[in-house]
């Protein structure tokens, strides 16, 4: 059942993300950062007192065992993190800062383990690769990085990261969907302790379909499921609505390319082979998907000039009601909610999520950037143990409450969102975690290959190349680019 966004309340807004689109704050009376943190500190203390003589949890036992190894040592750690959300457990608090959560956890952690100091450092996503390259060359890697599998998988292949399976409990495995664990595993080991996620699917302006008399073409389900042909028929049905384009593909840069390369998998094509060693999207299924996109372009179902459109351009078109369907994530969805609240976006704007179109009876799918704590191998065993302790610490109660600011990866936190009557579309996005597929395919050197992708899509959109020619060229160039990374990979060459 579809729900009116105008009725939604209490949505937490965030800013800063891998794909480069941030949240917008809503101007309303909120508690101060100090009040919010103080309240949570008191709650955490009360929860600790209530435990009293209760039997220790598996997570607590893990922390006790870790600390016993380093209790007599003075250790200082550095944690890097991106601008994910302001505040601790509520991103709408006044005076919030992107380091609030980790500064709060640091204070609690250092009070319990006074011989360990943690220094959180904010790193903008645009500077991440450069700063890590310098740190690798100079031997000054941070101990920890709160980041995504998308951003860190190459460093796992290079042997620079520490597996974390020994601090993951059976309770964690049961509480977090298997699809999430699968996305984080390389060589049979887990290198990121999942905390929260960003979900990418398709977003639909249901109101525009109603205006066009095309509601019957909307996909079934709260999160719509449709075949490529049904997707195309829906776009055809809304075509002709004044000042509205049915859909848009953007290819002006590699920014947000994950959201578009997911479309090339709609007929079952695989961006990367099953072994995770090479790109393979130039097979007949990948070519068929790109041919479908060309067909939609030729029939006027896409906004013109996709080769020059950016991800931000397309999102803004959707928020301006100039686009009926868009590739969307939960962060930009929050911008929509904010606009409806502050009046910058006029109602009606009824919204629905949909999975990417999938053919041949395939499972519905979407993408996710799963974020969590990861550890770099600095060569200091005590620092590695202390880092595991800190990551285990904030992945325990009450700190996992902060994951609800974004998309929580834990089923227990999802159930809390439901009980709190939070935004149903955010709950739906969290439920979609079960249907996420890997963006990178765990191929080594994925980041270096991205520069070859969008020029080929541009060439197709401008009719300089056929879909087959473009995908052949991408696969050849990208596989050549990652060949050295594959040779160096400690995962592929144990």
351 in Cβ contact with 5 (< 8 Å): yes
Which residues have CB under 8 Å from 266's CB, separation 6+? 228, 231, 289, 292, 356, 357, 358, 359
β-bridge mates for residue 94, sequence order: 32
What are the residues whose beta carbons fall under 8 Å from the beta carbon of 269, sequence distance 6 or more?
280, 281, 283, 285, 286, 287, 288, 289
Q: Which two tokens stand for residue 141?
A: 């890697």
Burial class (CB in 10 A: 0-12, 13-18, 19+), 278: middle
Is the pLDDT at 237 greater than 60, yes or no?
Answer: yes
For residue 184, which of 375, 421, 369 has the smallest C-alpha distance? 369
With residues binned 3-state (H G I as helix, E B as strand, rest as coil), the percentages for the chain, rounded to 5, are 45, 15, 40
Q: Rounded to whole angstroms, how far apart are CA atoms 81 and 370?
A: 14
148, β-bridge pairs: 371
Average pLDDT of the chain, as a whole number: 89
pLDDT tens digits along 81-109:
999 899 999 887 788 899 999 999 999 99
Q: Which is higher by pLDDT, 37 or 371?
A: 371
Say yes or no to pLDDT of 13 above 80.
Answer: no
Least confidently predicted of 5-19, 365-379, 404-418, 458-472: 5-19
Confidence of residue 38 (pLDDT cuts 50, 70, 90): low
- Give the model's confidence band at 39: pLDDT under 50 very low, under 70 low, under 90 confident, else very high: low
Per-residue confidence (pLDDT) for residue 36, from 0 to 100:
52
**pLDDT-based confidence at 293, cuts 50/70/90?**
very high
Q: Does the pLDDT at position 27 exceed 50?
A: no
pLDDT at 484: 87
Tokens coding 29: 């009376």
Output DSSP code: residue 326: E
pTM value is 0.85
């Amino acid at each position: 059942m579809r729900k009116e966004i105008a009725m939604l309340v209490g949505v937490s807004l965030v800013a800063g993300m891998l794909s480069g689109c941030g949240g917008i704050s809503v101007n309303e009376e909120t508690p101060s950062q100090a009040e919010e943190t103080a309240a949570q500190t008191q709650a955490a203390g009360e929860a600790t007192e209530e435990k009293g003589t209760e039997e220790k949890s598996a997570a607590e036992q893990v922390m006790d065992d870790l600390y016993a190894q380093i209790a007599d040592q003075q250790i200082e750690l550095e944690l890097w993190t991106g601008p994910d959300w302001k505040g601790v457990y509520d991103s709408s608090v006044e005076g919030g800062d992107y380091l609030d959560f980790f500064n709060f956890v640091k204070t609690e952690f250092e009070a319990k383990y006074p011989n360990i100091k943690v220094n959180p450092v904010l790193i903008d996503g645009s500077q991440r690769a450069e700063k890590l390259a310098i740190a690798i060359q100079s031997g000054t890697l941070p101990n920890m990085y709160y980041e995504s599998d998308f951003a860190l998988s190459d460093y796992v292949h290079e042997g620079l990261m520490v597996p974390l399976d020994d601090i993951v409990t059976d309770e964690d495995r049961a509480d977090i969907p298997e699809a999430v664990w699968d996305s984080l595993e390389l060589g049979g080991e887990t290198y990121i302790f999942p905390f929260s996620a960003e979900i990418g699917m398709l977003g639909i302006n249901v109101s525009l379909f109603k205006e066009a008399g095309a509601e019957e073409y909307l996909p079934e389900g709260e999160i719509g499921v449709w075949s490529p042909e049904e997707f195309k028929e829906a776009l055809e049905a809304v075509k002709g609505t004044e000042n509205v384009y049915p859909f848009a593909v953007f290819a002006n840069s590699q920014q947000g390319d994950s959201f578009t390369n997911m479309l090339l998998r709609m007929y079952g094509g695989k961006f990367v082979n099953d072994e995770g060693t090479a790109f393979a999207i130039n097979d007949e299924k990948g070519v068929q998907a790109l041919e479908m996109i060309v067909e939609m372009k030729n029939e006027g179902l896409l906004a013109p000039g996709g080769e020059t459109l950016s991800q931000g351009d397309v999102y803004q078109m959707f928020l301006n009601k100039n686009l009926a369907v868009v590739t969307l994530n939960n962060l930009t969805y929050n911008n929509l909610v904010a606009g409806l609240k502050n009046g910058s976006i006029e109602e009606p704007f009824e919204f629905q999520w949909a999975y990417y179109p999938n053919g041949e009876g395939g499972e519905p799918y979407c993408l996710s950037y799963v974020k969590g704590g990861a550890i770099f191998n600095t060569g200091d065993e005590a620092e590695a143990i202390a880092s595991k302790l800190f990551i285990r610490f904030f992945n325990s109660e009450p700190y996992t409450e902060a994951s609800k600011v974004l998309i929580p990866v834990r089923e227990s936190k999802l159930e809390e969102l439901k009980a709190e009557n939070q935004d149903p579309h955010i709950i739906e996005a969290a439920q979609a975690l079960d249907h996420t597929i890997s963006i990178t395919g765990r191929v080594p050197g994925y980041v270096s290959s991205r520069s070859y992708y969008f020029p080929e899509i541009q060439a197709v959109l401008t009719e300089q190349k056929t879909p087959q020619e473009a995908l052949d060229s991408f696969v050849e160039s990208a596989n050549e680019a990652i060949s050295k990374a594959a040779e160096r990979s400690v995962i592929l060459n144990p």
